[in-house]
Amino acid sequence: MKTPRSLVIPDGVFWTVSKSLGAHTLHGRRRPTPRTDGRTENGITDQRQAQPSVRQTFSNGESQEYSRFGKSYTAPQIRSLWVFWVPREYRYWLYDYEHPDTASILLHLESILHQNPKIKLNLLIVAAKVDLKDLFEKWQPEGYEASVKGTSEIFRMRLRKVTPETEEETLAGDILAFRFANPVYVFLSDQLTQFVKHVLHPFLDCYYPDVLPLYLSSYELFLMLRGLKDRSKGDVVIDRLTAYSRLEGPGERRRIEVTYTHETLEDVFHRVLENDQWVDKIRFSLFDPAGSLEMSGYLSRYGFFRCRHSFALFFQSVVTEAMLMAGKKLRAFGEKNRSIERPSPRRLEISYDTEVFQGREQILRFSEAMTAMKFTSTSIYHGNPYFHASMLDYLDGSSYEIWVVTGNKVHIIPQIRASDASLARLVNHIFEFFKEGSIEGYANPTETLSH
């Protein structure tokens, strides 16, 4: 078997080698040409002149020519190198250029997606009341290395998941983050989706409860897409839908269904509601009034989004709406704990439009859902004919009383320590593992879906 031994990297080219989930990726990019040449609209370098080259040499003497000139780089630890060659010079505008404001980010990303239709831009939206740049610089979780550059408002980050020396894989990637509306942050990356899911997402999870994922309901996902449709005056077609269904059998909780479809937004959500399902992920396409593809994207209830072809439209409708929703949740779930100054508890109420707790089976199902919540324990005082339990969240020490004493409501009474992040996690868990309902902080499905 031939083993790569060295790489030849041309002068003047930035290069990085990253290994992500088994895929070893060489990212090369030239220093971009100044914007004054008139050929680089919005600063995007002409792809023809920007193509860097590399030479890969193998242990058996063979070599792969990617380079005309340059200096040699020895990488003895590299056993196999899988070179994806896509012009990556746009990455300068994502991760190196110091954007003065959010408008600059929007302008450049819109241009990047228009000029590079293959690029998928991943977005992760989180809520955080603290300065995240400051937080990342002060403390980093074990197993991660993050180098952060920029301001508190807009910063770039090189994030690496440190694996034990015995393991070959190193998971690393670049991220552009910005604070759009306090307390909401947007993390952007063109890295593989796996990087965002398996590196960035777990990294941010380590900062719980300071960093709160954006939990969205099915109805909120619908509202975002409807906002996109209204703004574009086009049509949203759902390409793939991942939804959960409730299972009634003992011990059964939910079933996941993936549907490939080309139905309209309204048709899909009508069906979801009729079948008592709730949405987990959606892949969609947006067509303009003339029927041409305007953009495609992906939304998940955990605030992980993806878009292609157009960013401005996606940002102005979907991301802006998501940020408003995140702010609303933080306000609704914030400062609900008891304290010396305010010892009386304050309740939160999830209500359902039907009597979901009719019968012992439904209380039992709710009880099972509660005990299944990760990193918590419950003391169940009553499980029949009504439900009363204390719940403790070990991630940040929040604790609650949970009551079901009517046929259509769940009451949550926060105790002495109760963070907004934990409350949001609890409500999302009930939505995901029992049934979605109405609660302050979430958009309420008071309007009927219209065709």
Chain centroid to CA 249: how far? Answer: 32
The residue among 100 and 385 lying less far from another protein, judged by its C-beta, is: 385
The residue among 75 and 405 lying less far from another protein, judged by its C-beta, is: 405
Residue 287: C-alpha distances to residues 114, 229, 238 (Å): 15, 9, 11
Instruction: Output the CA angle 130-134-139, nearest 5 degrees.
Output: 100
The residue among 312 and 413 lying less far from another protein, judged by its C-beta, is: 413
Q: Nearest to residue 351, comparing CAs of 423, 442, 290?
A: 442
The residue among 22 and 407 lying less far from another protein, judged by its C-beta, is: 407
* Minimum gap (Å) between residue 366 Cβ and another protein: 13
DSSP helix/strand/coil, 278: strand
* Minimum gap (Å) between residue 139 Cβ and another protein: 8
CA atoms within 13 A on the CB side of 42: 18
* Minimum gap (Å) between residue 46 Cβ and another protein: 47
* Minimum gap (Å) between residue 253 Cβ and another protein: 15
The residue among 274 and 341 lying less far from another protein, judged by its C-beta, is: 341
With beta carbons less than 8 A apart as the criterion, state whether 426 and 400 touch.
Answer: yes
With beta carbons less than 8 A apart as the criterion, state whether 190 and 288 touch.
Answer: no
DSSP helix/strand/coil, 55: strand
The residue among 273 and 392 lying less far from another protein, judged by its C-beta, is: 392
The residues of the shown chain that bind another protein, judged by CB under 8 A, are 206-208, 338, 340, 343-347, 355, 371, 374-382, 385-386, 388-399, 401, 403, 405-407, 409, 411, 413, 415-417
The residue among 235 and 349 lying less far from another protein, judged by its C-beta, is: 349
* Minimum gap (Å) between residue 389 Cβ and another protein: 7
Where does residue 392 rank: exposed (0-12), middle (13-18), buried (19+ CB within 10 A)?
middle
Torsion over CA: 302, 197, 152, 144 (sign) = positive
* Minimum gap (Å) between residue 205 Cβ and another protein: 9
With beta carbons less than 8 A apart as the criterion, state whether 45 and 89 touch.
Answer: yes
Q: How far apart are alpha carbons 442 and 275 in whole angstroms? A: 21
* Minimum gap (Å) between residue 40 Cβ and another protein: 45
